[in-house]
Structure 1
Amino acid sequence: MIPIAETAARVYGYMVQDYSGQWGMDREAWDWVPGVGVIAMMEYGETFRRREVLDDLHEWEQRNRAKSAELKVINAIAPFAIYAPLCRHTGDTYYYESSVRAAEWLLREAPRTREGAFEHTVTEEAQFPEQVWADTVFMAVLFLARTARLTGHAEYAKEAVEQSLIHMRLLQDKETDVLFHGWNCITSDHMSAARWTRANAWVAAGIPEIVSEVGGLAPIPDELRIRYERLMKGLIRYQQQDGLWSTVMDHPDYYREASGSAGIACGILRGIRSGWLSSELAEAAGRALPALVERIEADGCLSGVSGGTPVMESVEAYNRIACYPTLYGQGLMLMLLNAFEAAKAEEEGR
């Protein structure tokens, strides 16, 4: 029996140390990397009822508040996803007002592709004109859904649903039901056409949360539910014998990638909890957990996490991405542990 609470505490503990200057682990920044980390930490504090974790995140936000206004790109939206729970936790209206400002930027100013999808924009000196990435669903659409719930604004909720559906339509492979990493609206193709595991993880873990947040504020099309169910069943077909997924899932000879595997397994549990997936699929998440826990070192570091990955020039290039510790890897692992704890609590009626 895997000690979920103890394991989660170790993973969390590794995340809050001082990693100044280390891109993958430095929490004192405002980008998608620490963004995924703090989203997972917030969820951890709420799931395990650790108020000191929530207090720490409030202090983190105050330390980094000035940075939040510096960049208006999709990847810089990710940390704002903790504002709604921070607003409820602290009662500070700043979080409400800032959430509205960021949501308004997304709706009124963020670059869009010709299909209406948010163009994926980054904090680095790089541009990807009219490119749609699966990553955007977690980095920006999740925030928009949480802000819809916080404010009660149906417009935000409708946009969150629409963005989720557009991304699924553009990225879902008709043959396998899994997602390609990206879509180029100019050339009308999936570029290198990589079925990249972590891209699928962002959507697998993000969609159930988005749907949960917008429930009652916007109608959820049957198409989104059907596409999500097909996606998750397609992903399970690519799970390897050891319980993990290769970094490009239809290449079993490529290295196993921990963050994407954790995100997919988390999505399975979240999908079951939302009622969109059959409980029979929990077995796949159950097979992934011990394989991932084996990769957690004594200090709580999750090994086997691939580095930051844009849409690469070829499928083969994904297999050359180096692995090293990252806050998003720790975060996706922590989300999976949170999901197991939530499922256990629900089963026990807690």
Structure 2
Amino acid sequence: MNYLKSLLFLFLCFATSNKLFAQEDAPNRIPKYPVAYEFPNTDSIKQVLNRIRVYYEATSPQKVINKQTNKEITDLSKPDKNARVSDGFSSEWSYTHGVVLSAFEYITEVTGDRRFLNDNIRFYDFVTNTLPYFVKNEEKFGADAGDWKGISHTHALDDCGSISAAMIKTYLKNKNDKYLPVINHTADYISYQQLRLSDGTLARHRPQYQSLWADDIYMSVPFLANMGVLTGDKKYFDDAVKQILQMSQRLYVPEKELFDHGWNVTSADYDPHFYWGRANGWTMMSLVELLGVLPENHPGRDKLMHLYRSMVRSLANLQGGSGFWHNMLDKNETFEETSCTAMFTFAIAKGINKGWISHVYGPVALTGWNAIKTRVLQNGAVEGTCEATTFAHDNTYYFNRGSSIYATHGYGPVLYAGAEMIKLLQNDRFEIQKAKPNSTNSTFHFLLKSEWPKIQ
């Protein structure tokens, strides 16, 4: 009798258990991704890139205007102390515009769409055609007159490095010799006029005496690398390598495999560390650009590659569950930021395409792109980008940075990320196993075809 009771009890338990499992709400077992966990396609990426191009292009007519009347000045033979370049992102001689124009050149290379490169040519022709006019205005009316101050009054790497790097890339496509005086002016400034430490590391007297900014890696290295390509002169490659390696001696933190935002000689070894997203993004962008053109036998290449690979490893672990990275990389309380997410997505996808890092990082780039595209508005504006940020020494400042569509630091990196993702999706070295929609357990796998035996 006891045996029958025990058997009945077990049967009831089993029946109840099955009923509970049967009644379980199946949708709750499916992951609720904050950003769609989906496989992008090249056409959708191209559409995003073109929306950004159209928006960016429309921000300025690229004309010379009278700043008081706002009317166009068409006769450039007559000096006018009120003459200025029309406002707008696409009329700026700025480092952020330089990233956009470098990305435009790259998109044309990847997709064959000439509309992007044509925007570069339009801008640089506008600059070089109007620069003599503004120089004459300054000669007649004084330093307050004129425009293109970053060329005529270069005072910092921000004024010249990034925007001139893109100018070299454009010159290599259209060979407009009017660009060369500006390019050579930038080369002279970076090589001989910009403040350097005693060991030759590029520095600023801002905010502290003899300060290093991770940002300045991008403000100098891409230009130096492309100057090496343009001239074939090894000294530019050597200087580019030196800048990253010597910056890393002060800014790279091996335990974190990340770069501190800044360093100054006053605090030296005891300088506080702040792992700002975009500072690390500038570093990653510079590493991949330099590695892409640096001779394979250059003695500094292996050290650069180690920096790059170690940062990729760390960044993969710091990526948030949405695909974004946070404004302060090691502090999830800070907001999910667009520009650094795009920079890391580009740099990781580039490394996979080049074979510098393992293809297993593919899903990191893929989910990064899925996050980025949610920040591109229908009109092509890019939101969620951290505002311009100085080298600070307190968490309160970094924690409370704002973001805006007018922070143009995000546009170029998003364009670059999209272009590299197109290359990644078209890379025939891989087979990509796609995650199954509405699955309880399915992910993306990038498989290297050459590792797998061929099935007859």
TM-score higher than 0.5: yes
Whether the 8 Å contact between 1:118 and 1:163 is mirrored in structure 2 is yes
Letter in 1 for 2:268: S
Q: State the 1:291 CA deviation.
A: 1.5
Give the number of equivalent residue pairs.
Answer: 344
Does the CA-based 8 Å contact 1:193-1:315 persist in structure 2?
A: no
Aligned equivalents of 2:56 and 2:429: distance in 1? Answer: 29
> Which of these residues, 173, 189, 198, is aligned with residue 89 of structure 1?
173
**Native 8 Å contact 1:184 1:190 kept in 2:** no
**1:299-310 alignment to 2 at 5 Å?**
299-310=379-390
- How far the C-alpha of 1:33 sits from its partner, in A, is 2.3
Query: Is contact 2:57–2:119 with CA below 8 Å preserved after alignment?
Result: no
Is the 2:211–2:263 Cα contact (8 Å) retained in structure 1?
Answer: yes
Equivalent position to 1:339, from 420, 424, 449: 420
Q: What is the TM-score normalised by the length of structure 1? A: 0.90
- Give the match for residue 108 of structure 2: 45
Structure with bigger gyration radius: 2
Aligned to 1:271: 351
- CA-CA distance at 1:329 after TM superposition: 0.6
1:14 aligns with 2:55: yes
Q: Does 1:144 align with 2:242?
A: no
Shift of 1:281: 1.2
The answer as to 2:349 corresponding to 1:261 is no
Contact 2:124–2:179 at 8 Å: present in 1 too?
no
Whole-Å Cα distance in 2 between the matches of residues 274 and 167 of structure 1?
Answer: 25
Aligned residues of 1:141 and 1:163 also touching (Cα < 8 A):
yes
Paired residues for 1:54-65 under 5 Å: 54-65=117-128
**Structure 1 stretches lacking a partner, 5+ long:** none
1:33 aligns with 2:96: yes
SS of 1:193 mapped into structure 2: coil
Deviations 1:263-318 (A, max 9, x none): 11111112223332111112111111112212221112221111000112312211
CA RMSD across the alignment? 2.5
CA apart distance, 1:25: 6.0
Gaps of 5+ in 2: 1-38, 62-66, 68-86, 132-147, 431-456
Deviation at 1:243, TM superposition (A): 1.1
| Equivalent in the alignment of 1:288 | 368
Letter in 2 for 1:140: S
Mapped pair 1:113 → 2:194: no
The list of structure 1 runs, each at least 4 consecutive aligned residues, that deviate by more than 4 angstroms after superposition, is 189-192
Which amino acid is the alignment partner of residue 193 of structure 1? Answer: H
Is residue 183–residue 191 contact of structure 1 (8 Å, CA) maintained in 2?
yes
Question: Greater share of strand residues, 1 or 2?
Answer: 2
Return closer, same or farther for 1:189/1:69 CA change in 2, 3 Å cut-off: farther
Q: Tell me the distance in 2 between the aligned counterparts of 1:79 and 1:208.
A: 18
8 Å Cα contact 1:78/1:138 also seen in 2: yes
Which range moved further: 275-284 or 213-222? 213-222
Deviates more, 1:217-226 or 1:249-258: 217-226
Greater relative CO (CA pairs within 8 A, separation 6+): 1
* Contact 1:181 1:190 survives alignment (8 Å): no
One of 262, 265, 271 as aligned partner of 1:185:
265
Q: Name the SS of the counterpart of 1:248 in structure 2.
A: coil
- AA in 1 matched with 2:55: Y
C-alpha deviation, 1:159, in angstroms: 0.7
